Amino acid sequence: MTAQPVSNGTPEFAAPSNLPGHIGIIMDGNGRWATRSGLPRSVGHERGVDALRETVKAAQKLGLSYLTVYSFSTENWRRPMAEVTALFSLLRLFIKKDLKRLKSENVKISVFGTREGLPEDICDLLDLAERETAENSRFNLGIAFNYGGREEIARAARDVARKVADGEMTLDEIDQHAIARHLDTRAFPDPDVIIRTGQEHRLSNFLVWQAAYSELIFMDVLWPEFGEVHLRAALETFAARERRFGGLSSEAG
């Protein structure tokens, strides 16, 4: 299940016909990359933002339409406050520096997660990013920030329950489609593939509802070193997978 980039960095890559509609990326390994290089963890996160820029650029170039990146989880509050603060500062910087360019590139930004506990100026910046790009349509960038899949599902359940209590919905109308329509990701298709860098093989509360039939690709590369070549390798791995969605293989008699 491990995808590796082609060795010489210049792959003979023909864009596969079955490109994933939506890719999710768990950008992991910033801290370890920094520690291995004798640098503070915050530098790893800074380099991680550079890798994110390159990845968004590559995803656009390769013709993808939906990309969601996991940048801060509801569990990441367990880290030392100095690291949490550094991560927030990087988000501020990213939006202030990149929003104008992303807007001009026709990128629509959607933010997934709860605003609870976030500093007010961060909430304002996240709102600004969504508002400024709301009319864009060429590429969809989901930013999972202060995001936890279980929190998202609980919030959706609460919203549905409120509608039932208010008489806007009936109990019988609650099915999986109704729940999906109340998730933060409701405007995105389910991820066809989830890539996780950094050698860990788990979802860590990322898109747990939406990942029901996602292909999982785990890559050893640490996130700051991720780039176009790794994305291409992951797309090739995805293209070779057979998805059955509970049915039978096309080769089954």
| Binding interface with ligand IPE (CB under 6 A) | 26-32, 70-73, 76, 87, 198, 200, 202, 204, 223
Q: Per rule CB under 5 A, is residue 219 in the interface with Mg ion?
A: no
Q: Which of 28, 152, 192, 215 is in the footprint of Mg ion by CB under 5 A? A: 28
Phi, psi angle pair for 166, to nearest 5°: -85, 0
Interface with Mg ion by CB under 5 A: which range of 25-33, 67-75, 81-89, 115-123? 25-33
Closest CA to 83 of 31, 10, 16: 31
Phi, psi angle pair for 246, to nearest 5°: 90, -5
- On whether the CB atoms of residues 121 and 110 are closer than 8 A, the answer is no
Interface with Mg ion by CB under 5 A: which range of 24-32, 44-52, 100-108, 219-227? 24-32
Closest CA to 46 of 93, 81, 82: 93
CB of 247 to ligand IPE, least distance (A): 32
Cα 144 from Cα 23, distance rounded (Å): 13
CB of 138 to Mg ion, least distance (A): 31
Distances in whole angstroms, Cα of residue 243 to Cα of each of 93, 116, 238, 247: 39, 37, 10, 9
- Indicate which residue of 8, 18, 30, 76 is catalytic: 76
Q: Quick check: is 76 catalytic?
A: yes
CB of 245 to ligand IPE, least distance (A): 27
Catalytic site positions:
28, 76
| Contacts with Mg ion, residue ranges (CB under 5 A) | 28
